[in-house]
Structure 1
């Protein structure tokens, strides 16, 4: 079981343990919780009624940590990790920290065992073989899924493939450059070359498919508490040329606050969850194309590039003389919190991997599910967020720089809708004892609605119960009685 989003398998492990099964939890890093303990303290949920089961319990426990009796959806990273660790302590389970999957042994369409290696120092002498009857891949990347020969895809499907309307290439208006931003190093001089971050590719047809990935960034926890603040210093590989588009955007729009290009959601104790905002921000557009199928070494390089870019963005805004003084002054009121990420120089351990591989499973969730047109009867979790894709490329259109790929649709949050059990189950022709609750079977645009952390938690819990049911019935994950599963999950 490969795991980056450790919470999911953590909940699975605690749930399965309560049901009398032994479980091994494998975490490729050194912290539990993935991006939820990695800076995403401002929870996106749409309709709160969709948050059920152990997901609801998690947010209730967060509230307790802040002296509240109700669920709390805005929190500090270290508080989230404390709650995750409490599940581990209560269930009395051990965790294989700093291990990742390198291979799987398949026998009769079942994963019989996997081999894991030390993430930080891979040597044959420290490899571990883990044998189990059931596996759940809760990683953001789907690394067990791919090694189990389960089919998958990544990128964006064409609208025509599954009769959708907002998939594929989408040149829309959100997080978009205003008209008139020149893309060339010397304005008006095409021969001077493009500014950093702009592709020389020709914009493809609207709605056409490709293998481009919506952008990643970091959900950045900063503080403006002077006694808890560490100054933002110049990062590795800093290059101010990477941010010249920001200067042109500022010159064009004349923002009064950096909130126009940095989304700021306040958290307790004078901290914030900074996220992407506008056409040029913390999203490292087009820097992640090789991530889904990349080797561990390739991914490590991509992660470092994103870290350098995000840290560089913060430093540039606070220190570059091209940035207006009032914006620099505002940025300099913020710094890295002393009490967060103490073992990682106060920087989050988790890149925000919005989307990577997606399984080609027993049932495919599409935009029709998210809109309520198609309603499944085997729903094991609820989703309610709008379909949300960040930009996937930055190109030149009619001599101006434009972003492509951002979708936020519909504008009003849809009513909660069920996510199919079939979407976390491989095709029966491929594998019988693996469930995939994160890299589940969905089109790119449907995944943009489902990919909220609370829904992942619910899918992880449901996968745990289903795994136990399959074990007790001595059957495959495809043959689990979904009606009985829903009853156990208290889903009507």
Structure 2
């Protein structure tokens, strides 16, 4: 009898513990995509738990990516716009409206890592009753860590890295907000790793390709598919302010041989810019003599000092976001060695993260100290160091690797280059009626291989301009799991993913995921079966831009009307031109599209009146 009592008592305790770990949404990954998913769901009254592997929230923006990657700033709004507004207000509050810091924050699009972390936490704090954040929780991609029945995830098992114990989490909807796609892979969602061939989708820059930066492929390009992953690096927060600076330390694993190729590149000025195609050996030797006389490089397209190693974007408080230098053969990217990352264990990933950190520190130490480099080049770089007031618990170094691309899932919609490229010159890309955000960035991939003798560039380093495009809900929907959303490791080709992978887009997709999850719960349907119109209605009310127009802002009174009509094909151009008089051709098109005879006088009736007439017929 006593044994039965004890067993029953233990069962009660187990059930209570399990109940405490039950939420509407279980979100794996505390990056901006995961954060915005939780916030959007909370605004719909849903509870979430964010399971973050590290000891800090915020993903890459909180780890050095302080220069927001977006080509048209008004293209992506909603929660992302709320974030940038809060960033700007932070600098106004702390330094004054007319301060240099406010100017350098560039309307909230440029920020220090610590400020990004602060703002994300502030946004989460607004929903403390709905959002639980648990740090140091690691999900490992293994079948025993997930329970799936009939296409439905019932629970997942997560490692508590602080005490080494496993914890079980139950949810109605699960969200993979990892950069790697670990949860989706464990659930059995089909995925791709590597590069598609140019032949498969006809995408520019696809497959194995060599080209001068922002140019055309060289004759060495084959376009063949492979398992290569674009390079990772750390986005560094650097400063040339001596009062807030930590010198680059020499890592214990320092290997001078890794950086020797930089010596000739500095002396000759060799780089990967397109203009190098016109540079002769004689010009490079003349540049060597010029530098030997104490001068800076004069070779076209070449950079000097810190900019030879890293591209720099100004941040507030005399800091910069230091990224890989696109014009250099040797910079902070470390191609090839990261290829196993997407499908490897966290044990392997942690080892590579340490390897990448040591490589990066070694590069800057070499550039500041190696006597084979010009003395005035070394002195220029010696002005720079790590920001003393950032990452103070991690030796002033970023805590997360910039994972540019992990697994890419094969979802309901597979996004490729054609979805981001204009259908004709000056026109839009294809308009998706199920759009959940507009976005805009180039087709952009970093190198997939290290320097190869005789090659004009690094394999895989490409950039092709796009136009503002729409992103369909299908990119975050798996085809085979009913209660899983993928707002970060989205569905797309290597080239298609290369433009979606920017944090503003991920934040917008997170917002869409949070609302999608809430609708699926309320309507008791699969995430694939939610009413897309209801989703879009909620997004538009939250001032999310689903179709971008140059002459309409989310704050405008007619913004909802324009979004609704744009999604339905009434406004295919870049401008809505609401106050212009409607012409005969447009009146015929709109009448045919809505199936009604419209009351309007061509050349007199404003377009806005006709659109309102159609809107009233459809929705009232």
Does structure 1 conserve the Cα–Cα contact (< 8 Å) formed by 2:29 and 2:50? no
1:450 to 494, 500, 525: 500
1:94 Cα offset (Å): 2.7
| Structure 1 position 62 matched with structure 2 position 87 | yes
1:405 and 2:451 are equivalent in the alignment: no
Q: Which residues in structure 2 correspond to 1:40-59 (within 5 Å)?
A: 40-59=65-84
How far off its partner does 1:257 sit? 3.2
Which one of the candidate residues 358, 365, 368 is aligned to 2:408?
358
Quick check: 1:387 aligned with 2:443?
yes
Equivalent residue for 1:153?
192
Give CA deviations for 1:81-109 in whole Å, capped at 9, x if unaligned. 10011022211133110001131100110
The farther-off stretch of 352-361 and 368-377 is: 368-377
Q: Which runs of 5+ in 1 are unaligned?
A: 180-202
- Alignment match, 1:21: 46
* CA–CA separation in structure 2 for the residues paired with 1:4 and 1:349: 15
**Partner Cα separation in structure 2 for residue 22 and residue 288 of structure 1:** 36
CA distance in 2, matches of 1:291, 1:328: 34
Residue in 1 aligned with 2:420? 370
Show the counterpart of 1:194.
none
Cα distance, 1:350 vs structure 2: 1.2
1:262 pairs with 2:298: no
1:237-261 CA distances to partner (integer Å, 9 max, x unpaired)? 1111110111121122145433133
1:2 deviates by 6.1
The answer to whether the 8 Å contact 1:49/1:416 transfers is no
How far, CA to CA, are the matches of 2:372 and 2:121 in structure 1? Answer: 45
**Residue deviations 1:109-153, cap 9 Å, x none?**
0110000002466x3xx2110001101111101111011111111
Q: Which residue number corresponds to residue 233 of structure 1?
A: 249
Deviation at 1:4, TM superposition (A): 4.1
Name the SS of the counterpart of 2:362 in structure 1: helix
CA distance in 1, matches of 2:395, 2:432: 46
Write the distance in 2 (CA, Å) between the matches of 1:217 and 1:314. 14
Secondary structure of the equivalent of 1:169?
coil
Distance in structure 2 (CA, Å) of the matches to 1:444 and 1:80: 28
Q: Deviations over 1:7-50 (max 9, x none)?
A: 22222212212211111111110111111010011111100121
The alpha-carbon deviation at position 206 of structure 1 amounts to 1.5
**Partner residue in 2 for 1:251:** 267
For 1:92-171, what aligned pairs fall within 5 Å after superposition?
Answer: 92=128, 93-102=131-140, 103-119=145-161, 123=164, 126-171=165-210
Shift of 1:318: 0.9
Contact 1:99 1:116 in 2 (8 A): yes
Q: State the partner residue of 2:388.
A: 338
- Structure 2 distance, partners of 1:2, 1:440, is 15
8 Å CA contact 1:247, 1:322 repeated in 2: yes
Task: Give the Cα–Cα distance (whole angstroms) in 2 for the partners of residues 162 and 119 of structure 1.
Answer: 42
Q: 1:218 to 1:369 in 2, by over 3 A?
A: same
The equivalent residue for 1:431 is: 481
1:84 aligns with one of 115, 120, 136:
120
CA distance in 1, matches of 2:369, 2:155: 52
**Aligned-partner Cα distance in 1 for 2:257–2:200:** 40
1:269-314 superposed Cα distances (whole Å, 9 cap, x missing partner): 1111111112211111111010010111111111111111111111
Count of equivalent residues: 458
CA distance in 2, matches of 1:309, 1:368: 37
Corresponding residue SS for 2:363: helix
- What is the alpha-carbon distance in structure 1 between the residues aligned to residue 38 and residue 204 of structure 2? 39
Matches of 1:395 and 1:322, distance apart in 2: 20
The whole-number CA distance in structure 1 between the counterparts of 2:451 and 2:123 is 46
Following superposition, the deviation at residue 378 of structure 1 comes to 0.7
Deviation at 1:53, TM superposition (A): 0.3
Compute the displacement of 1:209 (Å): 0.6
Higher helix share: 2
Determine the structure 1 residue equivalent to 2:108: 72
Higher relative contact order (CA 8 A, sep 6+): 1
Q: Indicate if the aligned counterparts of 1:359 and 1:439 stay in contact, CA closer than 8 A.
A: yes
Aligned to 1:216: 232
Contact 1:217 1:284 (8 Å CA) reproduced: yes
Question: Retained in 2: the 8 A contact 1:2–1:144?
Answer: no
Deviation at 1:327, TM superposition (A): 1.8
Change (3 A) 1:205 1:74: closer
2:587 equivalent in structure 1: none
Instruction: Describe the superposition over 1:43-78 as per-residue Cα deviations: whole angstroms up to 9, x where unpaired.
Output: 111001212100000011000011059941111000
Change (3 A) 1:402 1:51: closer
Q: 1:13 to 1:402 in 2, by over 3 A?
A: closer
Larger proportion of strand: 1
TM-score normalised by length of structure 1: 0.89
Report the Cα distance in structure 2 between the residues aligned to 1:233 and 1:163, rounded to whole angstroms. 46
Q: Would you say the 8 A contact 1:2–1:101 is kept in 2?
A: no
The answer to whether the Cα contact below 8 Å between 1:9 and 1:460 also exists between their aligned partners in 2 is yes
Query: Is the contact between residue 138 and residue 438 of structure 1 (CA under 8 Å) also seen in structure 2?
Result: yes
SS at 2:33 equivalent: helix
Q: Secondary structure at the match of 1:91?
A: coil
Question: How is 1:312-351 mapped onto 2 (pairs within 5 angstroms)?
Answer: 312-351=362-401
Deviation readout 1:411-434 (Å, 9 max, x if unpaired): xxx33111110010001xx21100
Which region of structure 1 is more displaced relative to structure 2, 154-163 or 29-38?
154-163
